[in-house]
């Protein structure tokens, strides 16, 4: 599952905080060798990157998770 800023905002994060989370996940993915995420236009990150950054799955109780 890919997560973007809009999805995080629907969970209650502010626009600024959602953008920060996506940005930090992208930096972590690039550091892990996934150069694709160095692209400015890429605004989605895998769910596992969000979980590893936050320490929990914010979509756990929602029907959105497959």
Evaluated on CA atoms 2, 58, 49, 51, the torsion sign reads negative
Cβ atoms of 43 and 5 within 8 Å: the answer is: yes
CA dist., res. 11 & res. 40, Å (int): 24
- Structural domain spans, the chain: 2-54
Asked if residue 13 has pLDDT above 60, the reply is yes
- pLDDT value, residue 64: 55
Q: Which position has the token pair 């969970």?
A: 11
Asked if residue 36 has pLDDT above 80, the reply is yes
More confident residue, 29 or 63: 29
Q: What is the DSSP annotation of 42-66?
A: --EEEHHHHHHHHSS-TTTTSTT--
What is the pTM for the complete model shown?
0.88
- pLDDT value, residue 61: 78
């Amino acid at each position: 599952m890919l997560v973007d800023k809009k999805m995080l905002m629907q969970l209650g994060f502010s626009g600024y905080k959602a953008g920060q989370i996506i940005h930090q996940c992208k930096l972590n993915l690039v550091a892990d060798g996934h150069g694709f995420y160095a692209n400015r236009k890429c605004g989605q990150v895998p769910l596992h990157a969000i979980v590893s950054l936050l320490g929990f799955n914010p979509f756990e109780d929602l029907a959105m998770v497959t």
